[in-house]
Chains A and B, each alone.
Chain A
């Protein structure tokens, strides 16, 4: 019992450290990727190739004053940035980084991670509402509608994989991809998952909750200092989690391709694949313009959900009769 608790607490601490480090790295990576896509070098001044730029930015953010807008809801306003970060942290509990590198191998891991990720929407709504700003409120309302719409195809596509493995545990899902990754067996589900995950994390071209040309900064318009910083960190940590889940569900987790792992430890395979997916999401962001709100909803309800339902039904029929 006590060793279980020890493992949990140690794991959470490592997750906390890793998520911060990861977010710092991802912010730097995004700026570098954006820079090179736009034919400029990106941050270069602080540290070698600007590696320490995000730390400098973080220090600056911590030093900034926290401004409470006029007539804002004080409790909710300061609770929202904290709330947005907790579910992200819980996600790390069940992520399989390697064969035995999983903090708690639950048989409900997949359910837990998606259950908790829904809290993010609540935090965004709270932040947007408490700001007493019309832009923030519009952003929050958009965010709720978008997340509810995209959660459905996301879960349906995950269901297809779960049906194939007959388990909700991450390690079992990864183990059953020893020879063939699920992306080859379930290409449609994989694609739907990636699109929905982009929308879930409010990334372009689905970044309408914070569309800066329309809503200034959307739900976090009024946040300054570390309040803004936490929303920012949560966005990047969230991105890591959805990509890590995609790696585990569709790209074989810590396994190599077709059972060949070249003697590289599983954790490196896992991180390599996750960061490759993150790179693709960044690439998309710096290439596409933003979709409009009603087009986004139409796409979810008229294309994504029917497609994922059909995919699920076909998967079920094939599994039953083959």
Chain B
């Protein structure tokens, strides 16, 4: 299609290949657009460029060896996917986790959620043409990466959670850095409000753009901030609390219309709520062991299956694993939120302009390697 000579085009509708190499398709997404002038007639996301076979890899190795893979699917919330994976295995094997480890995991996961949302915030505003907030957000994100780096030794693919706890205890330096970060962010939210949220051009670019309503969410399985933006208060951390989320006081922000502005607002407030969660978790952080003592080197789970849902930065994620009694899973399936979120584009994009397509794609916040896995 792309090689077609446009000077020879006779029909009104022409097709445009948006991606896989395009500044705004974030990774290797390709969208086939049928355009009438600047208006989109049909949109068809093409996925699969980043397929690495993670699920198959899970099936032919022990549970322990799959741990590094878990942070390489959604590389922006690697800590949360680590966390979800160890939760699933602990449930399958029946490992008791010390209190302190639970808190540390929650703090690390929420830090990771903020870093993921900050990156989304920066790139989304950049998609809309504002370059400066991008660098501001990256400056903040850098603080989080430093914090997580200090405990896990890695900036993106952490592998920090272990079966029965975490691999390294947090020290006073970690707590000081996290406290300093929370303090820094208090003033940053106002900066972002002034720079972006209250900007008239930004509001006009996002209000009533790309409305994903409840019905559409139900049809495509849209979850996470995209679902909450249309008023459905569904958050795994609240509806099926894992770890210590039931002991922490936080709100689940919701929108009303489900347009890009609502999705922006929900994510923005979620970052603030995550800060609240971290603050409380640091206050309540108990002493004791950071990893369970009796975790066997070779896991031999009983026959059966396990399903563990958790809330990643992008929505409802889950591990479903079937054990046949061997050291590795018989089947390892991962439910990723971006797949459903992305496919809603089929219904949302037609009728909008090319500029809106970029705005909508950015507001949905997809991570393509997570879909391709």
Interface residues of A (CB under 8 A from B): 34, 37-40, 70-71, 132-135, 137-138, 142, 204-205, 207-208, 211-216, 286-295
Contacts and interface: CB of A to CB of B under 8 A. Distances in A.
B201 A288 contact: yes
Contacts of B139: 39
Interface stretch (B235-243, B287-295, B352-360): B352-360
A294 B14 CA distance: 20
30 contacts: A34-B132, A38-B135, A39-B139, A40-B135, A71-B5, A71-B7, A132-B5, A134-B6, A134-B14, A134-B16, A137-B6, A138-B354, A205-B201, A208-B355, A212-B23, A213-B23, A213-B128, A214-B355, A214-B358, A215-B354, A216-B22, A288-B201, A289-B125, A289-B201, A290-B128, A291-B201, A292-B355, A292-B356, A294-B353, A295-B205
Q: Which of B16, B24, B131, B204 has the most CB of A within 10 A?
A: B131
A213 B18 CA distance: 11
A207 B201 CA distance: 13
Given A205-B201, A213-B23, A291-B205, 6 more contacts: A38-B131, A38-B136, A213-B24, A213-B129, A289-B129, A295-B204
Given A132-B5, A132-B6, A293-B353, A204 B132 contact: no
A142 B136 CA distance: 31
B33 to A, nearest CB: 10
Contacts of B14: 134
Interface string B113-125: 0000000000001
Contacts of B48: none
A208 B205 CA distance: 13
A39 B38 CA distance: 36
| Interface SS, B side | helix
A208 B202 CA distance: 15
A289 B355 CA distance: 12
Nearest to B21: A216
B205 A214 contact: no
B143 to A, nearest CB: 13
A221 to B, nearest CB: 11
A200 to B, nearest CB: 18
Contact of A213 (B38, B126, B356): B126
| Interface SS, A side | loop
Contacts of A288: 129-130, 199, 201
Interface of B: 3, 5-7, 14, 16, 22-24, 38, 125-132, 135-136, 139, 195-196, 199, 201-202, 204-205, 353-356, 358
Contacts of B353: 292-294
Contacts of A137: 6
Given A138-B38, A289-B205, A290-B201, A216 B5 contact: no
Contact of A211 (B16, B196, B204, B355): B355
B240 to A, nearest CB: 38
A70 B7 CA distance: 12
A205 B5 contact: no
Contact of B23 (A216, A292, A295): A216
Given A289-B125, A291-B205, A39 B130 contact: no
Q: Which of B3, B7, B126, B130 has the most CB of A within 10 A?
A: B130
A146 to B, nearest CB: 12
B136 A39 contact: yes
A302 to B, nearest CB: 14
B118 to A, nearest CB: 15
Nearest to A136: B6
B132 A213 contact: no
B136 A291 contact: no
Contacts of B355: 208, 211, 214, 290, 292-293
A288 B24 CA distance: 18
A293 B352 CA distance: 12
B356 to A, nearest CB: 7
A135 B204 CA distance: 24
Nearest to B202: A289
Q: Which of A40, A132, A213 has the most CB of B within 10 A?
A: A213
B205 A213 contact: no
Nearest to A211: B129
A138 B354 CA distance: 10
A40 B136 CA distance: 10
Contacts of A216: 22-23
A289 B128 contact: yes
Given A39-B139, A134-B16, A292-B356, A286 B22 contact: no
A30 to B, nearest CB: 12
Contacts of B23: 212-213, 216
A132 B128 CA distance: 26
Contacts of A289: 125, 128-130, 196, 199, 201-202, 205
Nearest to B16: A134
